[in-house]
Structure 1
């Protein structure tokens, strides 16, 4: 009788241990790697999967569009009308990487094919004067396909955690143009965000390298 009781006791312990281990494993799977970028549901963002990008506090979508008199939608813009965002895909520099990670060189491209360019990959390339005569670096599409290197240095960005009041904000980030790990060109990294070049009749603002505090974004599954 005592032997049977001992057996039940041991089985109970094993079940508790197994249950605790399974729960911990499930939690780890849900949260993902500690350095993963998370979407608005708190799930690790997957490389190659479609996401929408919105400004964190006013829900304005990022999409491709014309800006002013241009005839082709090659600019990356912030749509102030909240009409929605165009899906993007993130590709880390390591093609075997399954998730999008913090502070790792990553390309961003719109998932839809654009008839005006060879690719829909974002690039910091175009320089334009704003209304105050200052030269601005805009984010446009048409970036070079290829492996990380000096030929593609304009297309690499890093996603970093947003900080407010000295604390990290959950699932809120800023996007930095930072090709310093890709090429030794003397390129000054900078955050991208809604800029000073805009089309009032279209309710759009350019996405560009900005001065000062970085604006924050969230990523939503498309």
Structure 2
């Protein structure tokens, strides 16, 4: 009986430590803005490049790029443009109010939908005829996780500095096909007067931080 009391006493001592450790892990897994505040599902945020590109803003916008007159490509804004804020949406409704590292999500520009697009949800496009790059464009589907929507899903991973991140394409948790298991960074492509965001196999991804709109 005395041994049982000792075991119970030790468990009571360890419980707060265990609970604190789990809570700490959950906190460490949160994506945070540049002030250290966790990103919320209901929030709107500017995605801001950590590096300056001469003549351009560090925020993202929509531009015409290689596809007629459709303003549907995700690019760096011009220096005089304010940029467009984004919202982030979980693959599955869990009731969780926050955005987590390396969890699949939709990225949605919070702006009016151009007449040439079905939505402002980001998607990975087919390779274009000129550069053969897969440009990040709008027109994706919000929700409906699965292989048919695998190009609409992105993840946020930690960057090289505190509260900096990289947005990547790796829809393995929403699609079981072999192609979905391949990890792809996003990077800015070189183009005169435009810097479109493209899917890439480069090791150096597009590093950003988030600013509440």
Q: What band does the TM-score fall into relative to the shorter chain?
A: 0.7 to 0.9
Give the whole-Å Cα distance in 1 for the aligned partners of 2:119 and 2:89.
14
Contact 1:172 1:218 in 2 (8 A): yes
- Rounded to whole Å, the distance in 2 between the matches of 1:176 and 1:107 is 12
Give 5+ residue unaligned stretches, structure 1: 1-27, 164-168
Q: For residue 178 of structure 2, give the secondary structure of its aligned residue in structure 1.
A: coil
Q: When the two structures are superposed, what TM-score results if normalisation uses the length of structure 1?
A: 0.75
Is residue 186 of structure 1 aligned with residue 186 of structure 2?
no
- Who is 1:122 aligned against? 122
Aligned counterpart, 1:97: 96
In structure 1, the residue matched to 2:138 is: 141
Alpha-carbon offset, residue 213 of structure 1: 1.2
SS of the aligned residue for 1:89 comes to: strand
Report the 3-state secondary structure (helix = DSSP H, G, I; strand = E; otherwise coil) of the residue aligned with 2:189.
strand
Normalized per residue, which structure has more strand?
1
Deviations 1:158-193 (A, max 9, x none): 100013xxxxx1110001011111112232321112
**183, 189, 194: which is aligned to 1:204?**
194
Deviations 1:105-161 (Å, cap 9, x if unpaired)?
A: 01101011213212110001231145xxx5211100000233211121111111000
Partner of 1:83: 81
Question: In structure 1, which of residues 150, 164, 176 is the aligned counterpart of residue 168 of structure 2?
Answer: 176
Q: What secondary structure is seen at the aligned counterpart in 2 of 1:180?
A: helix
Preserved CA contact (<8 Å) 1:144 1:151: no
Q: Name the larger-Rg structure.
A: 1
The answer to whether the aligner puts 1:33 opposite 2:30 as a matched pair is: no
Which residue of the partner structure matches residue 220 of structure 1? 211
What TM-score do the two structures reach when normalised by structure 2? 0.78
- What value does the CA root-mean-square deviation take over the aligned residues? 2.2
**Which is further off, 61-70 or 99-108?**
61-70
Residue segments in structure 2 that go unaligned for 5+ positions in a row: 1-22
